[in-house]
Amino acid sequence: MKSWNAKVFIAIGLVFVGLLYVFRSGGVVLVSTLDYKHNPVDESYNRPRTKDGFEGCQVSTYKNSELDQAIHSWRTFGMHHRDINYTALAELKAEFDRIFQYYELVYQQYRKITRNRNLFSDNFSHNIRFKTSGKHLKLYIREFKGKQPTKGGTTFRIALEGEEKVLCDVHDSFDGNYTACCPLVSGCVDVKVILQYLEFEPFLQRSHGDVRPELNKLLKQFQWCSPYNTARKIASLNDTSLAKISQTHCQNKTIKDYLGGRWLKTQNGWRWGTEDRCLFNYMPRREVTRCYNKLNSITFIGDSHLRNTGDYFIELLGYNMANVTYHRHYDYIPEPKISILWAPWPDTAIERLVNLTKDQSSVRTQNDVVILMTGQWDFWMRGPMGFFEESSQKLANALKNFKQDPFWSKSRVLWMQQIAYPRGVTQAGFRSNPISSAANAWMETKLRDVDVDVIDSLHVTRPLYYENHCGCHYLCRKWGHFDHTVGEVGKTLAHLLFKSMCGL
């Protein structure tokens, strides 16, 4: 009997050790084993992932983490979107009194849902650990609902702020385990882990009124000092020392280097630059004019974010913006070489592309540039799933056809990815950063074989999504001051675009 009891005790102990090992090491999650309730997404998107998801700490492994969450939620819960009457919607938006009444209703619902969700989030607890992995910061989050591990779907904002500001991508294992690998930083940084959404909230909204604002609940804050302390670390960063660095090793930086940059702290606030401290400079008017003279045509096709960007370009050319109508929802051609075409809906943007190909007066060259940015209105009015289910593929097909047109195939096309949606705006639960991130990764898969340059707008705007915006815009002319553009985050993104389209 004693021998039998000893064997049982040993067996139970081995099982416990095995379970503990699985818990700590993470096991393996195969997204492809999930059953479909509704399958509009590409079945080839099956990415076997371990809970760590990488050997060591490779930041690039996590780039599509929120797309993984979106696809997991659709495969588990199904995907839904609203069909809308575009003509009726346009008529509705023209009636400003009804719009304001609508926003008041949404705001009241926003406040009610915020209170309820804050109480609901108290049912969740998070065990957060961190360690230094090579030169990177690595975090482990274990999430419980009550006493049971969750099934994933939580969105965290993990921000590192010191002499630079970066965000960490978080991998969801869909079993209550999350792992984050943070970009390389120098010196000591303040780390904040903030809870934003729970249980796949951004991806499961099924109606226009289903507004779910961010929770913005601080879970953990601590200081971490990077072992990456080389000569590029500056104890007290200022514009003079940055300028000196720029003179010595930044002359050969290209626009691609800056597109992958980050926000650097200076005495005059945050400035965009590269990891090795090369500041990004705006284009002066003479450079904008030289670019304009070199190009044959510039066509902006998109929503208000791109319209404001086009307005900013002509402002840099010297236009008196006080004479240019602000917040217009129609086409605007300030110069024969510049067209700013209003296309908030993907279907409208596609129609604009088709209309361009009807102009066969000459064969276009690299000096003919077309810029597109659309999709936010799909998130807003149809629910975000309409973009993933239908609009993204339509856009990809339209761009592919456009680049195969014999008169337009040599023109340059730039696709502006979705921006971060500013914190605190009433609709922020319906157009959210997780949705923008997932949509961008999804569009990259669709545009993989299309000759289009992609500008990662989210990478620029998301770290400072609470600063420098006017309503839902990062770039605008404020009411009462229509003669000039404001918003440093928006200006930074705009100049990155301008240098890309000018080939600088």
CB 373 within 8 A of CB 420: no
pLDDT of 277: 86
* CA–CA dist 187, 331 (Å, integer): 49
Residue 414 structure tokens? 């730039």
* CA–CA dist 251, 258 (Å, integer): 12
pLDDT of 283: 95
The torsion region of residue 103 among left (phi > 0), alpha (psi -120 to 50) and beta comes to alpha
Residue numbers of the chain with a pLDDT score lower than 50: 1-55, 61-62, 81-107, 110, 230-236, 428
CB 234 within 8 A of CB 278: no
CB 154 within 8 A of CB 32: no
> For residue 376, what is the enclosing H or E element?
helix 376-377
Q: What pTM was estimated for this model as a whole?
A: 0.81
> Which of 217, 218, 215 has its CA nearest to residue 429?
215
The structural domains of the chain, ordered by start, are 285-501 (3.40.50.1110)
